[in-house]
Structures are given as C-alpha cells and as structure tokens.
Structure 1
Amino acid sequence: MTATGRPGTDHLRRVGALCGVVLWLLLTAMDACGQMALAGRVRVAEKVWGFDGRVMAGEFQPLSLLLDNLAGDPVEGVLTLQMVSGSLRASGAVYTQSVFLGPAGRRWVQFYPWISDPNATWQLELRTAEGVIPFDPLDQPRLIEEDNRLQPGEARILPGVLLDRAGSLERVPTTVKHLSEEVFPPWSTATHGLHAIFLDHVPDWEEPRQAALLGWLQRGGELHLLLDANGQRLRFSGILSGLNEPFERFTVGAGQVVRHELQRAGLTESLVSSVLTLERGDETSQGVRGQLQPGDQRLRDDEGILERLRATSEPRHNSVLIACLALLYVVALYPGAWWFSNQRDVRFPWPLVAIGGAVVLFSVLFFWVGRRGYQEVRSCRADMVAVAEDSRHWDVLAFRQLFVTEGADYTMRESDRQTLLASGVQDERVSATASVGTEAEYSCRIPPYSRELVVSRSRVQLADWGLRLSQFSVTAGNLTGLVISTGGQLPWRQGDAAWVMYRAEIWPLEWSASNRQFRLRLSGRVSLGDFLRPQYENFAMPLMTPAAGTGGISSGAFGGAAEELTEEALKRRERTQGLLRRALVRPGRMRVGDVRIPEDRVLLLLEMDLPGEFRLQLEPELEQTGRVLFARELRSDTGDAEPRG
C-alpha cells in the first residue's frame, strides 16, 4: 500500500506547488495593477526649481510642485523627497510633508532641499493608505555657479525674477524670468539664492509671505518697484508700508529699493542686464592687494566646517600610557617570563600560568585604556553664522554634530522659527526624516559611538542689543576712527572676539566694559584675503604671523600679539575663517574678491559662545555647546555719526 500511495502523494504535492505559484503570480499582478492605478491618480502638472530655474549650492532652495489629482476621490498621504546621486543611490535624509488633494483638485506643494551635489536627481513619492504613488525622477537644474562658469570670459548673471499675479499666464516681457507670486516662499529662510525682484503690483499675500519678502530685503536683497497696470506707483500696507518711501532709491536694512517710472513692458534687456549682471573683476590686481589669494577663491567652505565638527568627536586616547603598557607587556613576557621560569623553585606548569596571567592582565588593561567611551561624552556641538535682518531678528545657518555613546532614536525640534533642516551627510544614506516650517523636526537613528551631522537655517529673535555707530571717521578711503555703542542686553563675555570690516579690510575691536562700547584698534588691520588665508600653504610650510602692517596675516587681528599660533589658537582661527566665509556669501558673491562693503557702512562681526536662545529641543537630552559668528551691517545713519574725511 505504501508503494502504490507514493505516486498520488507526489501528484498532490505538484498540484499544491503549482497552485502556490499561480496564487503568487495573481497576487503580484493584482499588486502591479494596483500600483499602476495608483500611479495614474496624481501627477506633477508643473515644477519650479529655485526662482529663475537655477539653484544655488550650499543653500536650501525651494522646489515648487503643482500636484494634480486626476481621480474623483480625495487623496491624502505623506509626500516624500530624497536625493539620488552617483549610481542611483539614495542619499541624505528623507524630506516629508503631509498632503491632501480634493477630488479633481490641484495644489502647490513646496520642498526646501539642501543643494550639495551638482549632478543629483530627486526621488518623489506619495505614500497613502492604499499604497505608494511613484513619480518620475526630478532632475536637478544647473547650479548658478556652474552656469556662470560656462562663459569664463563674460559677466555673471545673478538670479532675478519678475513677480506675476497668481494664475496669470502672461509672460511679458521676455527679457526677465517670471515667477508666480503664489510660489514665493512663505519663510525668509528659503529666499537665499535670490538677488533681485521686479514688482509691478501689490501681491495678494498673507502676512507670512509679506514678512518673508521683507526679511529677504533686509538681509541684502534688491527690490525694483515698477508702475502698475494703470501707470501708478504701488502703495503697500501693513508690514510692507515701509516700501512707500517717495525716493527713487532707498535702503531697507542691508538691502535696497529702486523705483522705476515705467511699466513691466518697459523692462528692456539693457535695464535687466544692468540689474542682474555682475562684471568679473581683475583677479590679478585683487590678488596683489591681498583681497584674492590663488587657490583660495571660494567663500563657501561647508565641508571644512563639517570636517572640523567631526574632529571634535574623534576618540582621544592617552598614547603615552598605551606605549608604556606595551613596553611593560614586552618586558613581562621576555625577559620577565624567561627569568621566572629559570628560578629553581618554580616547577611546571607555573611558568605557563605566569605567562597566561600576564596576557590576561595586560589584555584587561589595554581594553580599559583603549575602550570606546574613554573621555568621550555625548553632546551636540554647533558652529553657526547669524546674519542680522534688523535689530532683533537674525538669520541663523547652523552646522550641528550629534555624537552619542548609546544608540537610540534622536529627535531635534524647533518651533516658530521658519526652520529648514537637512542631513549634513549628502554622499551616503542616513536613517533620518526631516520636516520643515513653523514646527520643524529632524528624527534620526544613531548607532552607538556614532555621529549625525545636521544643517539647519532658522530665523531667531533675540533682545535688541542696541548696536549704534557712534563715531565713524574715514580719511583718504581708510577707516581711522570707529566707536560702536551697545545696550545692556549684549551678552558679552571674556573670550569673545569682535572685528569690523570696512570695504575689503578688517580691523580688530577692543571692548570697553565701563562704557559698553567697541573701539577700533588700528594696529591689527589686515585685508580680507589675508584674514582668510590658511595657516599652512605651499607644501605645508608653516605661515608665521608677522607684526601688523607687514602685509601678512597678523594674529593681532584675532586679538593676540603677533606670534606663531599655537595648535589650539590655530583651530579657533580656522573656525573663525570658515564662519566668516559663510557670513559673506551672497548671490553672485562667491569669491573673496567679490566682497566689498559699501563706503557708507561697516560690517560688525562678533564671535560668541552659543546663546541659550539658539539651543534646540533634543530628545533624549544632550549637552549643547558651540560658537556663533554674528554679522550685522551698521550704516552711518544708524546713529548720529557720519563718515568724515
């Protein structure tokens, strides 16, 4: 009976396996059909990168997507965006945003990715309860810097747009790029990379977008006001009422407003070119003046800032103690073990026991001295640049490193600061998600004894420090006298440093605690190019620090006597140089030779410890430390002083 039953059993097994394969194929086909059905429900009807179709490296740039729901049912889910670089490898954190689309509805959605890879593409997905809706890859456009390098002998074209009314299809004139007012970012932190705006109507904006425009302008933007469709000047209200000044040209913060008595049709190519074209300077003469050093042209040095943060979490072991233990270990085994085994009273197996005991003892000692966690403390370290919009609001770019000794899920939160977040590691995938805005959050999983690098930009409100230009004297184009008064809110401490920049030169400042004033110290004057020059150049030959006035970089500019910098002072100097480079970056201002502070103002630089207002909400809690370089332009009309000489 057993022999006759085997064929039937084998037949049933084959039928069962065949049914399993058929069922698997049916389920796969059903899933594929479902994915195809989902994929056709929503499409990207329009996309806008940046402001004029280009993006700026090292900045959070807006990516505006017009989503179109093709189905008769509402769609709700989470829209995700992630960078794909190299050989189709996902990199960095995943940007997330909740989305709801009504039946057959359309909606603009904006992401603000951190631009680092010039050849990246971006993967977009909509994750719903029914499944994942994929979209075609989004190709990142050309970088502004790369676009300008394609024509090395000609001028650089800065990003600028003419703002159109929402829903307008008119694209006149064709001499300038157009941008719909409905995709202008609602946060000033997302407006970096835009140089100029032409405006011929009062935008129909809610207050956040009005504040974003004002913040962009105060930070150094250029607003060109045209006549409206009726040939009348624009009249603003609310927080934009300060734009109603009758002058043809006036300043708002570090930015400027220019009036043109013409309508949009009068924007000729020559006029637009005069606003958006930056002529290339003579690099040879700049290099002679110390404003531009060969091989040190670029201002932005984000990788250098992040690399210095990484170095702060490298394990530091006592190499002298480890070397002494290694020497003792060798002596203990030979001649120590040999001497012990040749003693008359020592019998087998005691020599082996002694050798084994020495091996175990020194193994424990080596493990204890060289263990991870030895002199390692979990912490959140930060290097930041804060550029003033006005007396109370600061645009803060932060580079943070979270170093942990215990693996866990960590969360960073910021509220009501228009915060944009991204991973500082853009060449590999990290287990992190980022959501931005008024309730920004960065969640990541960090393994034990590992780090997470995070880049953020936020708008922080501080107390009014009462900074005022009390004395401002210029003789033959050189700064000869300067006094900056402060209020009682300035949190100045010992160890903080201050400089002032005028045109393309930097002077150190002395602090008077009794008068609460900064005064110019003429002995430390250096050019910007020398101030930013690396300590080691030309095959790692050390750079000495001659006295001020000899043409080289003087350590007096950093607040000390002219002498060769110590290792610790060198690290502080490199940090200051990296942060200053970042504070000076603007659209079209990417090199040292591009920097010129106008003659009617100075740039005040204050390097201070991390204020309490700059600390994040961290879960679990970590000790937060770091340094901040504050930069604020002070005009001669800020106080009672006028440039004299």
Structure 2
Amino acid sequence: MRAALRRAGRFVSAAAIVLAAASPLCGLSVQEAIWGFDGQVVPDRINILSVLVANDTGLPFNRTLQLYKRSPIQRLGATHLKDCFIAPFGQRWVQFHTHNSESNEEWVLSWGRGLTESTTLNSPRLGPPARVLLTDRSDPFARRISLKGFPEEIFPVTAAATDGLHSLVIDHVPQWEPVRRRAFLDWLHRGGTVHLLADPKGQRLEFPATLSVLNTDLDRFRVGAGRVVRHNLTRTKMDYRQLAARGFPSLKLQKQDDWQSITRIEDPVFRRLRNFTRADHNWWFIYIFALIYIVLIGPVNYLLGRKWRDYRLTILLFVGGVVVFSFVFERIGRRGHGESAAVYSLSYVRPVGPGTYDVTQWLNVFVTRGAYYHIEHPCPHNLYSTCQITERVNGAIRSGKDGTFAVDIPLYSSRAFLHRGIMKGPDLGLKIARWGGGGPEDLVLGVGPEFPKDVLRMWAFAGGNFRELVASGSTLRTAGTTTRKADFLKLQSVLGSADFMPLGYPGEREKDVDVLKSYRQMIKPLIAFSLGGANAFRLNVTGDRPLTNCVQVFITAKRHENFGLKENPFGTEKGYVMYHVCLFQE
C-alpha cells in the first residue's frame, strides 16, 4: 500500500512538473501590441512597436525579451533585445524600434527557449505617417472619439522614434516626464504639426512652463519648423472630415506602378557605401585559378585515373590539388581595402534646436580582423537597424537609452546598418537676408561662423521649384535656372543618380571608384526621400499640406566629427551629411 502511495506521489509530482512546463506562455502574456502610432508603420522608416506584457504568476519576471523578424526559412536581420522586469501579477509597456519594408512581415517576441516562451505578433500594415489624438487611458471619455487615439504614457522618449507621426491632436495637458516632453518638443521643432482642441469642458488649454511654447493667443503659429493650430472644438466634435475642411486632408501612401522605381532608399545607399570599401581582389587571377582547379580535379583527374592502374595516385592527386588550391585561394582572398578598416556614412539631419539635430545615418563598416564589434554613437538614445530583408545577421540591437549594436563581422568583410538619434552638431546660422517670397529666385541667405567649409552641393526649394545655391562670401545666393519639383525629382533623373554596378566586374579596383562622384549622385535620391519619396520611390506619401512662406535648404557637406561613432574601433571614418533646414519669412 505504501509503495503504491509513493508511486502515486511520484506520478503526481511528475505531472505537476509537466503541467508547469506546459503552462501557457510560462506566466507571461501579451495583452496588446500596437504598431506605430495608429496601428500602421511607415515603410523604410524606424517605427515603434509598443507591447503590453503581463506577468500572470506570483513570482517576479526578470528576463530579456527578444524581438526578431523571420521568413519561412530563417530569421532576418539582427535580434532586438530589451530587459524587462515585471512584479508579480503586474504588467508594463515595452517599446521596440523596428525598420519595416513590407506589410506581411512576421515578427516574433520571445523570452526563453521553450516552445511556449514566444508568440508571433500581428503583422504590421503599411501606411502614411499618423495623425492621432493623444489620449489618457484613465479618462472615461477616451473611447468616445472619432479620431484614432494614442496613449500618452507610451509616447516615445526620443524624437528619433517619431518618423511615423505626422500630426498630434491634443485636448488635455499630458502628464509626461521630462524625457517625453523633450522628445515631443524636438519632434515639433523638427516639423511636426499639433492641433490644439478645447478641453472636455470647452475651455482653452493652459500648459505648464515646460510646454509654454504652446501658450500663445494666436490660432496659428510656428515652433521651429513645426506648426500649431487651435480649433474651438472638443474631441467629440472633431474628426478627420473637420480637419480636411480646415485645410488638413488625410495623408495617403501611394504606390508607383513603374517597375523601375526605387524600392528602398537603403538599396542604392548601402550598395554605394559598400563599393567604397569592397575587398581589393584580383578577380582575373581568381577566375583563372578557379578554372585550372576545376579542370585539374575534374577531367584531368578522370583521364589520369583511367591511365594509371594505381588508384592511390589519383586519390593523392585529388587531395593534393584540394590542399594546394585551398592555400592559394586563402592567400589571394585575404587582401582587403588597403589592409585597413574603414567606415563610410551618409547622414540626413534636421535641426531640432540650435546646434542639435535629428540624425538619420546609413553606415557601412569594413574590417580586416574578424571579431564581435560593439557599435555606439554619442546620443542619449540610439536606435539601430540592419534593414535586412533577405539574410540573418549575427548581432544584437539594444535600442533606447545608451543604445548599442553588437555584431559579428567576419574577416575582410563589411556590415551596413542604419542609425537614428539626436546629436549635437554645428550651428549653421542660416537666416534669410533677402527673399521676395514664392519661388527660390532672388534668394540670399546669411550663414554663421560654424557653416561647413567643404560643401558638396546646395539646393533651395520653395514654391514647388528647386534652384542651386552657391557661396558668395558670407552669404549663399541662388544661381542657375529654376527647375520644377516634378522635373528635378522625376523618375529618370533620380534613377540615373542611383545607377551603379553593385558587384563590380572582373579587373575593377577600389581606386576606380570615384567616392566624391558617388556621394554627389546620392543627393537627389536623398532629397526625394526627405520629401516623402516623391515619384522616384515605389511608395511615397501624398496629401501633405505644402509649407507657406518657407524655403527649404538642402546642404550636403563633409561629415562633422560630432556625427561620428562614440568609440571607433574601425580606424578611418569618412562621410557626408545633408542638412535639411526650413527657413520662414517673417
């Protein structure tokens, strides 16, 4: 009897262990997942993914969450990591930063190696930048709205994560900590739009000193490159039709039918940057030895085997050929880019304050020593992505405060990646000295003492037209002829700028690549990218209200040292930066 009881006890214990191991999600559950600001993501931009996770057990949850994209056969890109602590029976929001290109992407959130310790998230939908109402989930009226809402508690902590936000509708004073207030103000200075409604009682909003820039008597005013519009309506009466009637139509994501259009900005940029540092191999020598190797171990070995009666000789010839040619290929394949590591970058920056910029950087690092490299930029918050849609990257991304990108880069190879952050830089001191308004004709701009000396090219855009800028003493003046936007950014023009030989050809050397010319040819695709894609990209954003009394200035110059890596283990770092500045006529 006692033996039977002991066996029964062991059976119950084993069953309990099995049931505990098979319990759903091992105590962690995903309550909600929000892509972007309105359930959609903007293609080829850094988007936010906000996940509400809950701890369903009486024990603390303290693990590292892993987010990765996968195809039917493998993971894609690097893995995003986020440390997460949740008290017993508690819940919290966790925010990731992803780069999205397709609407059918499959993303997996994992917190262990067990079969039940991961979940597949809903696939993101592509859309234009969002126009949403900032909501307080503790507000009982939060759901009684026609506009899409976004919880104020998960507003990003850096403006670098707001690529997917176009307009923010506000009808109450948000209870933000300082870092979120700073991110909001940076986004507004960069060019965001704020619609201020009356509070639920119909009263005008009054903001604290930390948001005092919103306290003016004007119904329409500017904050940096951003705009603020007051509406004498409450949230219950405001909808997208009202906004459209007041001059703010909904944005649309338009798809180009032309198969030649640029699919992603990363395609031409990354390939050109890789071309600057591709391995300097003697391809004719490699091809000749490869042909000799194939002939030797194939037809020659077969014919000698029929002639020689001792099979051991043919085996010896085969093994010897493999050894000798392996050594030859290993030696001629080790040569790199001048035997030194290098970093090339292209940056696109917009000011969010004097000497402070919202920075988007495309970088390619080339190494001559295989290792696990630690990459970091001098930003309060760093966001990284490999932008991969075809292959897995052995690396880990920790975006956010003091964010880093740790990646394995093999011997004599390169790794391209994207970086977003708020960085210090030179104060260009641009101001309008003379302008008649309308188009860019007869435009004169004053510059500050920190204006870059090594300028590649400059353009002014106003009234739907482009015109080149040239330096004249301490000023910039328009020169040449005026070109309409449709002609300046027409598909053939931009594609011509992005044309290249991605893999090179036999006999081509690194010295044959004109780096300066290549950077110059990337200017038009980058301008088109900054204007929502224009007509040169497969997907572009349309419907945005054009800026009035504004001239947009695009200045491409050598990279400022402040836009470099925090600690550079790669040696030489070169690049160019495009400054995109909006100037308004008083």
Give the TM bin, normalised by the shorter chain.
0.7 to 0.9
Aligned equivalent of 1:305: 269
Per-residue deviation, 1:104: 1.2
Counterpart of 1:102 (choices 53, 67, 87) is 87
Is the contact between residue 50 and residue 94 of structure 2 (CA under 8 Å) also seen in structure 1?
yes
Alignment partner of 1:585 is 2:536: no
Task: Select 2:459's aligned residue among 481, 484, 499.
Answer: 499
Deviation at 1:488, TM superposition (A): 1.0
Residue 440 of structure 2 corresponds to 479
Deviation at 1:311, TM superposition (A): 2.0
Deviations 1:460-497 (A, max 9, x none): 122432211111124xx44331111111122322x532
Give CA-to-partner distance per residue, 1:404-432, whole Å, 9 cap, x none: 12110101113443221111323211110
The answer to whether the aligner puts 1:465 opposite 2:448 as a matched pair is no
| Aligned partner (choices 28, 31, 41) of residue 55 of structure 1 | 41
Q: Deviations over 1:198-232 (max 9, x none)?
A: 11100011111111111222222221111112321
CA distance in 2, matches of 1:374, 1:141: 40
Residues 616 and 370 of structure 1, relative CA distance in 2, 3 Å threshold:
closer
State whether residues 501 and 597 of structure 1, in contact with CA within 8 Å, keep that contact through their aligned partners in structure 2: no
Q: Contact 1:387/1:583 (CA < 8 Å) preserved in 2?
A: no
What are the within-5 Å matches in structure 2 for residues 25-44 of structure 1?
A: 33-37=19-23, 39-44=25-30
Which residue identity is paired with 1:499? W
Where does residue 278 of structure 2 map in the other structure?
Answer: 314
* DSSP-derived class of the 1:44 partner: strand
- Which residue identity does 2:524 align to in structure 1? Q
**Residue 392 of structure 1 aligns with which residue?**
355
Classify the secondary structure of the residue corresponding to 1:306.
helix
Equivalent in the alignment of 2:104? 119
Match of 1:223 among 181, 194, 215: 194
Q: 1:242 to 1:592 in 2, by over 3 A?
A: closer
Distance in structure 1 (CA, Å) of the matches to 2:383 and 2:353: 20
Kept in 2: contact 1:422–1:454 (CA 8 A): yes
Structure 2 counterpart SS, 1:62: strand
**How large is the Cα RMSD of the aligned pairs?**
3.9
Give the match for residue 607 of structure 1: 556
How far off its partner does 1:197 sit?
1.5
Q: Distance in 2 between matches of 1:376 and 1:526?
A: 45
Equivalent position to 2:178, from 184, 202, 207: 207
Residue 448 of structure 2 is aligned to residue 448 of structure 1: no
The amino acid across from 2:164 in the alignment is G
Superposition pairs of residues 561-580 of structure 1, within 5 angstroms? 571-580=518-527
Closer, same or farther: CA 402–94 of 1 in aligned 2, 3 Å: same
Q: What SS does the corresponding residue of 2:527 show, helix, strand or coil?
A: helix
Give yes or no for the alignment of 1:277 onto 2:243. Answer: no
Counterpart of 1:195 in 2: which secondary structure? strand
Q: How far apart, in 2, do the equivalents of 1:278 and 1:454 lie?
A: 32
Higher mean C-alpha displacement, 260-269 vs 603-612: 260-269
Q: Secondary structure at the match of 1:414?
A: coil
1:241 alignment counterpart: 212
Distance in 2 between the 1:77 and 1:537 partners? 47
For residues 367 and 415 of structure 1, the distance between their equivalents in structure 2, rounded to whole angstroms, comes to 38
What are the within-5 Å matches in structure 2 for residues 505-584 of structure 1? 505-512=465-472, 515-521=473-479, 523-533=480-490, 571-584=518-531
Write the letter of the residue equivalent to 1:517: T
**Cα distance in 2, alignment partners of residues 372 and 32 from structure 1:** 55
**Higher alpha-carbon deviation: 195-204 or 420-429:** 420-429
Report the counterpart of residue 312 of structure 2 in structure 1.
Answer: none
Shift of 1:138: 0.3
What letter is aligned with 1:504? G
Q: Is the 8 A contact 2:424 2:563 kept in 1?
A: no
In structure 2, the residue matched to 1:64 is 50
Q: 1:401 to 1:280 in 2, by over 3 A?
A: closer
Aligned 8 A contact 1:122 1:138 in 2: yes
Which letter does structure 2 place at the counterpart of 1:430?
V
- Identical aligned pairs, as a percentage? 28
Relative to structure 1, the CA distance from residue 365 to residue 448 in structure 2 (aligned partners, 3 Å threshold; closer, same or farther) is closer
Partner of 1:427: 390
CA distance in 1, matches of 2:52, 2:192: 27
Q: Residues 496-535 of structure 1, C-alpha deviation per residue, up to 9 Å, x if partnerless?
A: 32221113222111113xx4211111x2432334333567
Instruction: Give the partner amino acid of 1:126.
Output: W
Going from structure 1 to structure 2, the CA distance change for 1:531 and 1:26 (only over 3 Å counts) comes to farther
Deviation at 1:124, TM superposition (A): 0.7
| Residue of structure 2 in register with 1:337 after alignment | none
Amino acid at match of 1:114: H
* Counterpart in the other structure of 2:295: none
2:125 to 139, 142, 153: 142
Aligned-pair CA distance for 1:50: 1.0
Aligned residue for 1:640? none
- Alignment-mate amino acid for residue 600 of structure 1: N
Answer whether contact 1:200 1:234 (CA < 8 A) is retained. yes
Could you tell me which residue of structure 1 aligns to residue 368 of structure 2? 405
Instruction: Please tell me the residue identity of whatever aligns with 1:518.
Output: L
After superposition, the C-alpha distances for 1:216-267 in whole angstroms (9 at most, x for unaligned) are 2222222111111232111112331000111111111222111111211111
Deviations 1:68-87 (CA, angstroms, capped at 9, x unpaired): 111111111111100122x1
- Matched-pair contact (CA < 8 Å) for 2:348–2:577: yes
How far does the alpha carbon of each residue in 1:290-347 deviate from its partner, in whole angstroms, 9 at most, with x for none? xx99767679622221222222233345679x69x99xx9xxxxxxxxxxxxxxxxxx
Give the stretch that moved more between structures: 31-40 or 169-178.
Answer: 31-40
User: Where do 5+ consecutive residues of structure 1 fail to align?
Assistant: 1-24, 146-157, 284-291, 330-361, 544-565, 638-645
Q: For residues 392 and 29 of structure 1, do their structure 2 counterparts lie closer, same or farther at Cα, with a shift above 3 Å needed?
A: farther
TM-superposed deviation, 1:169: 5.2
Q: Partner letter of residue 241 of structure 2?
A: S
Q: Which AA in structure 1 matches 2:423? A: V
CA contact (8 A) 2:533 2:541 kept: no
Deviates more, 1:525-534 or 1:249-258: 525-534
**2:228 corresponding residue in structure 1:** 257
Residue-pair matches, total: 528
Measured in 1, the distance between the counterparts of 2:445 and 2:141 equals 50
TM-score for both structures, normalised by structure 1:
0.73
1:574-608 per-position Cα deviation (integer Å, ceiling 9, x unaligned): 21122222222389996498688534011111111
2:575 maps to which residue?
626
Match for 1:236: what amino acid? F
Return the alpha-carbon distance in structure 2 between the equivalents of residues 567 and 587 of structure 1.
27
Which of the two has higher C-alpha Rg? 1
- 1 CA distance for matches of 2:165 and 2:497? 40
Aligned counterparts of 2:253 and 2:396: Cα–Cα separation in 1: 43
The answer on whether the counterparts of 1:471 and 1:483 sit within 8 Å (CA) in structure 2 is: yes
Give the letter aligned to residue 573 of structure 1. Answer: R
TM-score of the pair, normalised by structure 2: 0.80
- Take 1:134 and 1:367, find their aligned partners in 2: how far apart are those partners? 43
Q: Taking structure 1 as reference, are residues 478 and 107 closer, same or farther at Cα in structure 2, changes over 3 Å only? A: closer
